[in-house]
């Protein structure tokens, strides 16, 4: 099992060593390894994928879980708005880079963590194409919550298109809503969110409960070979109509391909 995170010393290594201890006590043969990857950097994602491939390990389950919410506006080193790149584009590139490994490891599953907040936005311009100006807005047009909602809509569109493209090769993909306003670290960028999350904390899922739907999609035998769906509380449910729209998913895929093509050169060419 490989865990990835962006701050090797502070988080990933600490988390990795805790998981290693937990795993080794319950599964004696399990090997857990922490690896570094910053999803907000195309270079870092490529380096991570290369290191993973160099290990010659199979990849049966890939969980695209990382996310940030209510961050102040900032551009990544690749020139894109950071919520969009961390939540969607980094995962998109990661799956692109590991696609061959997933295909060789089939049956394999991808689980993409989205959110019910995908319902409160759209991404389409007047020509019915996914609009980069909405996904990666300039500072004057930026509202952090909207950026998060849009990235979560991208997660479902991405998962559905991925499933359409890779399921003939034995790789399935499903999207997940883990729970409402669970007290994780997601609220940490804005004191108001921390305050609201603290107020509702007694009524929301624990982290373990929040992980249940993700784990279900990753391992449930009854989901073998099935994908292109959206799950909440370990049940399939209907996402918004735009999240189900195949042409939006294809349009996002094409845009994402152009953005990751040759790193920032791809972004400048747009
Ligand atoms: N909490 C909720 O109520 C809720 C509701 C709906 C959906 N979700 C979704 O659930 C997923 C997990 O969120 P969470 O609630 O567990 O929040 P969390 O505790 O903040 O976890 C998010 C994880 O993403 C990692 N991450 C963020 N930016 C990254 C980057 N650029 N590169 C690599 N890793 C990065 C963070 O690593 P660092 O600690 O190193 O920053 C952290 O480990 C997210 O996709 C979120 O949108 C959460």
What pLDDT is stored for residue 6 in this prediction?
76
Residue 251: exposed, middle, or buried by beta-carbon count in 10 A (0-12, 13-18, 19+)?
A: buried
Q: Could you identify the residue written with the tokens 């940030």? A: 68
What pLDDT is stored for residue 7 in this prediction?
64
- The token duo for 127 is 């020509």
What pLDDT is stored for residue 3 in this prediction?
74
Strand partners, 230: 175, 237
- The token duo for 103 is 């295909």
DSSP 72: P
Q: How far is the CA of 187 from the centre of ligand 1 (A)?
A: 9
Model confidence over 187-241: pLDDT tens digits?
A: 999 999 999 999 999 999 999 999 999 999 999 999 999 999 999 999 999 999 9
Task: Give the number of other Cβ atoms within 10 Å of residue 58's Cβ.
Answer: 10
- The token duo for 184 is 């994780």
Q: Is 113 in the pocket of ligand 1 (CB under 6 A)?
A: yes
- The token duo for 117 is 């907040």
Q: How far is the CA of 128 from the centre of ligand 1 (A)?
A: 30
The residue annotated as part of the active site, out of 7, 52, 142, 148, is 148
Q: Is 7 in the pocket of ligand 1 (CB under 6 A)?
A: yes
**Which atom belonging to ligand 1 lies closest to the Cα atom of 66?**
24
Q: Is 115 in the pocket of ligand 1 (CB under 6 A)?
A: yes
pLDDT tens digits in sequence order for the chain, 270 residues long? 777 777 655 555 555 555 556 555 666 678 889 999 999 999 999 999 999 999 999 999 999 999 999 999 999 999 999 999 999 999 999 999 999 999 999 999 999 999 999 999 988 877 878 999 999 999 999 999 999 999 999 999 999 999 999 999 999 999 999 999 999 999 999 999 999 999 999 999 999 999 999 999 999 999 999 999 999 999 999 999 999 999 999 999 999 999 999 655 456 556
37 alpha carbon, distance to own chain's centre: 13
What pLDDT is stored for residue 127 in this prediction?
80
**216 a catalytic residue:** no
Q: Is 39 in the pocket of ligand 1 (CB under 6 A)?
A: yes
Task: Give the up-direction half-sphere exposure of residue 149: CA atoms within 13 A in the CB hemisphere.
Answer: 16
Alpha carbons 99 and 186: distance in angstroms, whole number: 28
Alpha carbons 102 and 62: distance in angstroms, whole number: 9
CATH of the domain spanning 2-269: 3.40.50.720
The phi-psi region of residue 114 (left if phi > 0; otherwise alpha if psi is between -120 and 50; otherwise beta) is beta
- Sheet strands (E) in 150-233: 171-177, 230-232
Q: Is 184 in the pocket of ligand 1 (CB under 6 A)?
A: yes
**Which atom belonging to ligand 1 lies closest to the Cα atom of 6?**
33
DSSP run (H or E) holding 36: strand 33-36
The residue nearest atom 26 of ligand 1, judged by CA position, is 66
What pLDDT is stored for residue 129 in this prediction?
85
């Amino acid at each position: 099992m490989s865990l990835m995170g962006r701050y090797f010393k502070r988080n990933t290594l600490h988390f990795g060593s805790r998981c290693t201890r937990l795993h080794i006590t319950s599964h004696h043969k399990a090997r857990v390894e922490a690896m570094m990857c910053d999803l907000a950097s195309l270079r870092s994602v490529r380096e991570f994928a290369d290191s993973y491939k160099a290990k010659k390990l199979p990849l049966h389950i890939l969980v695209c879980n990382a996310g940030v919410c209510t961050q102040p506006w900032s551009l990544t080193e690749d020139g894109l708005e950071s919520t969009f790149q961390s939540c969607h584009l980094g995962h998109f590139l990661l799956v692109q880079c590991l696609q061959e490994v997933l295909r060789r490891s089939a049956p394999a599953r991808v689980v993409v963590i989205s959110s019910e907040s995908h319902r409160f936005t759209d991404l389409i311009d007047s020509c019915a194409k996914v609009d980069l100006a909405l996904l990666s807005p300039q500072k004057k047009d930026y509202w952090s919550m909207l950026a998060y909602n849009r990235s979560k809509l991208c997660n479902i569109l991405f998962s559905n298109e991925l499933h359409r493209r890779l399921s003939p090769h034995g790789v399935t993909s499903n999207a997940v809503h883990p729970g409402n306003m669970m007290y994780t670290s997601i609220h940490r960028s804005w004191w108001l969110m921390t305050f609201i999350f603290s107020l509702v904390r007694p009524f929301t899922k624990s982290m373990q409960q929040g992980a249940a739907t993700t784990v279900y999609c990753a391992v449930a035998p009854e989901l073998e070979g099935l994908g292109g769906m959206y799950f909440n509380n370990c049940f399939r449910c209907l996402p918004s109509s735009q999240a189900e729209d195949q042409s939006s998913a294809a349009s996002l895929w094409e845009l994402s391909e152009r953005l990751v093509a040759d790193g920032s050169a791809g972004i400048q060419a747009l």
